Amino acid sequence: MIYINQSGYFTDGTKRAVMINPAEKFDILDNSGKAVFSGSVKHFGFDECSGDNVYTADFSELTEQGTFTIRTDSGDVSKKFEIGAKVYDKLFDDVSKAFYYLRCGCGLDEKHAGVYKHGKCHCTKAVLWEDNSVEIEASGGWHDAGDYGRYVTAGAVALAHILYGYTLFPNAFDKQNLNIPESGNGVPDMLSECRYELEWLLKMQRDDGGVYHKLTTKGHAAFVMPEDDKGQLYLLPVSSMATADFAAVCALAYRVYKKFDSNFADKLLAAAEKAEKWLEANPDFLFNNPKECTTGGYGEWKDDDNRFWAYAELFAATEKEVYYDKMMLALEKDFPITQLGYASVGGLGALAYMTCGRNDELSERFRNAYTAEAEKLAETAEKSGYGAAMTDKHYFWGSNMNLMKHAMIFAIATACGEKDFTVYAQKQLDVLMGVNALGISYVTGNGYYRCNYPHLRPSSADGIEECIPGMVIGGPNSRPVEPTARQYIPEGTPPMKSYVDREEFYSLNEITIYWNSPAVFALAFLMK
Ligand code: 9MR
Ligand code: ZN
């Protein structure tokens, strides 16, 4: 087996393949079978996370465009792959358009969704969990994941990844055509897509500024199309994390949208400041997820990092000293400052400050923290035969989120600091797209050997064999929560191989908006 990036390699980029059969030499053959490049196979040795004895082929020096295969002197031949400047265009557009396919409340038409069209869903009013007589219209937004819930902290973090991605690498988004209803309106499509989520988010705010934690049915729906999920919708109690994340992402969105639509931007900022008022009046951590409501909890134990992110963004948006002071106060608490969510969001607060235009001691502190984190991760990647900046502890529920967040850290350190970690960001993408111990592409609809049976209700119920494209799969998990997963992944299976493409296993094979969003960010960086 020869594991390659199934989406291909950039002409000028780093290019690596991994194999598990011993070999000494390799050739790269063009479409006519002619060898255009030859190199030595390197014996990496034992790779801990996969349990494989790994060999690698580096052909970064080959800068010819076209379609190629790799052949080793032991007779292995890879599948075809591309080298070119546009190899990730489809992948980038697909992982971006995934959000459109998750839209709730509007129905997807044939023009934009093709065979994946479906009717309007979840349009009835929601009632307050604590007082069912209060009805509230809060339709819209993105379905969170394989389930139809809509959760504020998850949504805020997914938006943040994309909006910070846009802030740092606007060029990658400016030319995108995602074929969504808003395409051609003069606003980058990805921002129109994010606006769909933001409009919903605004509906989740209570009059006193507090923000409901989530909007879901009492339990998860059966595997039916979204329009057939008719369960009563509930707004679950306000939480301090939801309110803080809401304040942060609305302030960030204000910064992003003000040049496109100042009315919308002002509305976002007003909502952010209103949320801040609530935070001020409610200094204690607040979270109450009634156990009778069995949809996702997204519980946390502390909100210091969330509050820090809120103040950092409010300062970035308004330059009001009062927010600076509150941010500094929040920063005195103990939490990591390079974590990118969904729960731990200190790194998003750091990003807020790093992108606000100030160049001072504080921005340097944040930059240095990202550089240090990137250096640590690069070391880990060097110890992996597959080039993954992952240790066994990263292979839990949603491991591909860790993989892509590590790509984000390489991207942030490169874009904001002095050292170039692009090679490592590329390697994380390679791992996602097939340079891994199962040789599988973890993005639906992309790659010759790809996941196709995710835990995703519409894809199960629609009767269409090919899954909706562009969905980043949760991926290998050495501690799957479903006991029956052990039939496919025996105890003791190496972490990188602890995966099976079967719909019933949500702890291995689900999708969510905040697993897609770091991939959008990482690709935007690589494509900029
Ligand atoms: O992504 C979440 C993962 O980190 C947690 O371990 C898991 C259990 O709490 O929940 C995951 O989030 C799920 C959420 O609760 C509901 N929607 C689907 C999410 C992805 O599986
Ligand atoms: Zn819906």
499 CA from centroid of ligand 1 (Å)? 17
* pLDDT above 90 (res 7): yes
| Active-site annotation holds for 334 | no
Give the pLDDT of residue 69: 98
Q: Is 507 in the pocket of ligand 1 (CB under 6 A)?
A: no
In a domain, 276, yes or no: yes
Rounded to an integer, the average pLDDT of 170-194 is 97
**Is the separation of the CB atoms in 45 and 385 below 8 Å?**
yes
In a domain, 240, yes or no: yes
* pLDDT above 90 (res 242): yes
395 sits in the region (left: phi over 0; alpha: psi -120 to 50; else beta) called beta
Query: What is the value of pTM for the model shown?
Result: 0.98
| Active-site annotation holds for 109 | no
**Is the separation of the CB atoms in 358 and 323 below 8 Å?**
no
507 CA from centroid of ligand 2 (Å)? 22
- Residues 21 and 134 occupy one common structural domain: no
* CATH code of residue 38: 2.60.40.10
| Active-site annotation holds for 147 | yes
In a domain, 478, yes or no: no
The single-letter code of the amino acid at 452 is N
295 CA from centroid of ligand 1 (Å)? 9
Q: What is the pLDDT of residues 457-514, one digit of tens each?
A: 999 999 999 999 999 999 999 999 999 999 999 999 999 999 999 999 999 999 999 9
- For residue 297, the ligand 1 atom closest to its alpha carbon is 15
Rounded to an integer, the average pLDDT of 167-181 is 97
* pLDDT above 90 (res 25): yes
| Paired tokens of 380 | 């880990």
**Into how many domains does the chain fold?**
2
In a domain, 499, yes or no: no
Sorting pLDDT into bands at 50, 70 and 90, what band is 80?
A: very high
Q: What is the pLDDT of residues 199-236, one digit of tens each?
A: 999 999 999 999 999 999 999 999 999 999 999 999 99
* CATH code of residue 99: 1.50.10.10
* pLDDT above 90 (res 528): no
160 CA from centroid of ligand 2 (Å)? 22
Q: Is 94 in the pocket of ligand 1 (CB under 6 A)?
A: no
Q: What is the pLDDT of residues 353-393, one digit of tens each?
A: 999 999 999 999 999 999 999 999 999 999 999 999 999 99
Give the pLDDT of residue 40: 98
Q: What is the pLDDT of residues 127-169, one digit of tens each?
A: 999 999 999 999 999 999 999 999 999 999 999 999 999 999 9
- Residues 205 and 97 occupy one common structural domain: yes
By the 10 Å C-beta count (0-12 exposed, 13-18 middle, 19+ buried), 238 is classed as buried
- Residues 79 and 206 occupy one common structural domain: no
Nearest ligand by distance to the CA of 342: 1
Q: What is the pLDDT of residues 396-437, one digit of tens each?
A: 999 999 999 999 999 999 999 999 999 999 999 999 999 999
Domain that holds residue 386: 89-435+510-527
Considering 83, 104, 131, which residue would you say is the last residue of a domain? 83
Rounded to an integer, the average pLDDT of 55-62 is 98
> How far are the Cα atoms of 19, 32, 71 from residue 39, in angstroms, in the given order?
14, 19, 11
Q: Is 165 in the pocket of ligand 1 (CB under 6 A)?
A: no
In a domain, 304, yes or no: yes
> How far are the Cα atoms of 119, 176, 243 from residue 112, in angstroms, in the given order?
13, 15, 33
Q: Is 397 in the pocket of ligand 1 (CB under 6 A)?
A: yes
**Is the separation of the CB atoms in 501 and 452 below 8 Å?**
yes
- For residue 149, the ligand 1 atom closest to its alpha carbon is 17
| Active-site annotation holds for 118 | no
- Residues 55 and 181 occupy one common structural domain: no
- Residues 516 and 369 occupy one common structural domain: yes
- Residues 188 and 228 occupy one common structural domain: yes
Rounded to an integer, the average pLDDT of 185-192 is 98
Q: Is 510 in the pocket of ligand 1 (CB under 6 A)?
A: yes
**The one catalytic residue among 47, 93, 144, 510:** 510
d(CA 144, CA 154): 7
Where is 69: in which H helix or E strand?
strand 66-72
In a domain, 500, yes or no: no
Provide CB contacts within 8 A for 444, sequence distance 6+: 450, 451, 452, 454, 467, 468, 469, 470, 471, 473, 511
Q: Is 189 in the pocket of ligand 1 (CB under 6 A)?
A: no
In a domain, 300, yes or no: yes
**Residue of 517, 516, 497 whose CA lies nearest to 508:** 497
- Residues 391 and 421 occupy one common structural domain: yes
Report DSSP state, residue 83.
E
**Residue of 40, 52, 23, 30 whose CA lies nearest to 495:** 52
Sorting pLDDT into bands at 50, 70 and 90, what band is 301?
A: very high
Considering 83, 106, 140, which residue would you say is the last residue of a domain? 83
- Residues 130 and 79 occupy one common structural domain: no
- Residues 47 and 152 occupy one common structural domain: no
- Residues 71 and 179 occupy one common structural domain: no
- Residues 114 and 199 occupy one common structural domain: yes
* pLDDT above 90 (res 309): yes
Considering 51, 66, 83, which residue would you say is the last residue of a domain? 83
- Residues 78 and 102 occupy one common structural domain: no
In a domain, 482, yes or no: no
